[in-house]
Amino acid sequence: MYKELNPPRRILMGPGPSDVHPKVLQAMANPLVGHLDPAFLEIMNETMDLLRHVYQTENKVTLAMSGTGSAGMETLFVNLVEPGDRVIIGVNGLFGQRMVDVASRCGAEVIQVEASWGDIIEPEKIEDALKKHNNVKLVAVVHSETSTGVRQPLEELSEIVHKYDALFVCDMVTSLGGIPTKIDEYKIDAAYSGTQKCLSAPPGLAPVTLSPRAVDVLAKRKNKVQSWYLDLSMIQNYWNEERFYHHTAPISMVYSLREALRLIVNEGLEQVFKRHALYGGALQAGLEAMGLELLVSEKHRLHQLTAVQIPANVSDLEVRKRLLEKYGLEIGGGLGVLKGKIWRIGLMGYNARHENVVFALAALEDVLREQGYHFISGAALEAANRYIRDHE
């Protein structure tokens, strides 16, 4: 006999998954309906409408792929790229590297434009690459690089990419529902995201959006999309009026996404962005008041994910282990070249609240004190609260 499932209670303030909103958990407990039931078709339609609102777009093809954020990444590359196509990818962290891997597997000729982990990709460097190589089909960057906490500016980059007649593709996994995505305003041709970051739903769906221009590129492909499961030309027909059966939508996950989006839209998109900025900024002020250094310069820092440098003589693993054991608090470690050098603290979606800022700062103070790290007791909380007073 196995015991009943009883996972520990955690506060998930790492790079994802983040805590799921209680109402989203409740929504998932609803009974199933068939995936072609008129009631479910209505739910799919509403989910698409809500997605358009949160993505800030009117793109018709705005739907949720079955799979996590990485499935969204793979969807865009596998559909927009054909063997031999030339693509430019900005690499300033792990997820840029992953895009390079995925695009290469699609048979693309990949040109990498690199920056150090913690910096943005300078638009001029992308322009240099576009000048040097003709016939570039698409340019892709990560909007919120979760491995470093960098926020990539998009507006100028989009103009450059379109000047050279390429498609502009963005990873918005940690952006959607956390910071403005402005798909239409910035003329982003295609973007993908995931449910487990700022949407505060479990991992399992990958919302994607494609501009009419990107849809046109898809329609004009010479070869069939090599992935049957992620072939948007068929998936589109499942999500639109035709309701052409492709694969069974993960019903409960669609419930969760609809509820997560509903909560965001009801709170108001601008208010949601403000909340992330306010509490993310407060956490950052608190960390700095403890004498800790942040990886990213203020100008390019994300609010929903903060990379903080691990002080000398403090054990990365020990601190994270103590936070988990003593407080049930999960924060993330560094990846790749930043392994052992940074912690990553997320304040995403439902977690972007005052109580989580206070809790994380207090828990970190306690555990850092155990490690012999010196700082002024209570300064973090005071700085965080001052930040909130000044910015509310």
Ligand X SMILES: *Cc1c(COP(=O)(O)O)cnc(C)c1O
Q: Which residues line the annotated binding site? A: 344
Q: Which is nearer to ligand X, 67 or 286 (CB)?
A: 67
Q: Which is nearer to ligand X, 179 or 361 (CB)?
A: 179
Q: Does 95 bind ligand X (CB under 6 A)?
A: yes
Cβ closest to ligand X, residue 95 vs residue 238: 95
Site for ligand X contains 90 (CB under 6 A): no
- The nearest distance, CB 175 to ligand X, in angstroms, is 8
Q: Is 70 in the site for ligand X (CB under 6 A)?
A: yes
**Measured distance CA(363)–CA(313) in Å, rounded:** 19
Nearer to ligand X by Cβ, of 81 and 363: the residue is 81
- 351 in contact with ligand X (CB under 6 A): no
State the minimum distance, in angstroms, from the CB of residue 70 to ligand X.
Answer: 3
CA distance 235 to 242: 11
SS3 of residue 357 by DSSP:
helix
Closest by CA to 172, choosing from 296, 283, 280, 302, is 302
- Rounded to 5 degrees, φ, ψ at 214 are -70, -40
Contact pattern for ligand X over residues 162 through 201, marking x by CB under 6 A: ---------x-xx-------------------x-x-----
CB-closest chain residue to ligand X: 69
75 lines the binding site for ligand X (CB under 6 A): no
C-alpha closest to that of 150 among 36, 258, 303: 303
- Residues 6 or more apart in contact with residue 368 via CB below 8 angstroms: 290, 311, 314, 319, 375
Select from 18, 44, 69, 284 the one that contacts ligand X (CB under 6 A): 69
**Between 69-80 and 212-219, two packed helices, what is the crossing angle to 10 degrees?**
60
- Taking the complex as a whole, the smallest distance from the CB of residue 103 to ligand X amounts, in Å, to 14
> What is the rounded CA–CA span in Å between residue 299 and residue 209?
28
Q: Which of 95, 100, 89 shows the shortest CA–CA distance to 197?
A: 95
Restricting to residues 6-35, which ones interact with ligand X according to CB under 6 A?
16
Pick the closest to residue 101 from 113, 89, 92 (CA basis).
89
Binding-site sequence positions for substrate: 344
**Chain centre to alpha carbon of residue 371:** 32
Stretch that binds ligand X, among 69-77, 78-86, 108-116, 148-156 (CB under 6 A): 69-77
- Report the run of H or E that residue 280 belongs to, with start and end: helix 269-289
Choose the binding region for ligand X from 68-76, 123-131, 233-241, 258-266 (rule: CB under 6 A): 68-76
Report the nearest approach of ligand X to the CB of residue 343 (Å): 16
Closest alpha carbon to 214 in 191, 182, 193: 191
Q: Which is nearer to ligand X, 190 or 367 (CB)?
A: 190
CB closer to ligand X out of 50 and 76: 76
Closest to ligand X by CB, 57 vs 97, is: 97
CA 245 distance to own-chain centroid: 29
The first and second tokens of residue 211, run together, are: 């501009």
Q: Out of 47, 59, 146, 209, point to the residue binding ligand X (CB under 6 A).
A: 146
* Assigned token pair, 192: 């993908």
Site residues, ligand X (CB under 6 A): 16, 68-70, 73, 95, 142, 144, 146, 171, 173-174, 194, 196, 203
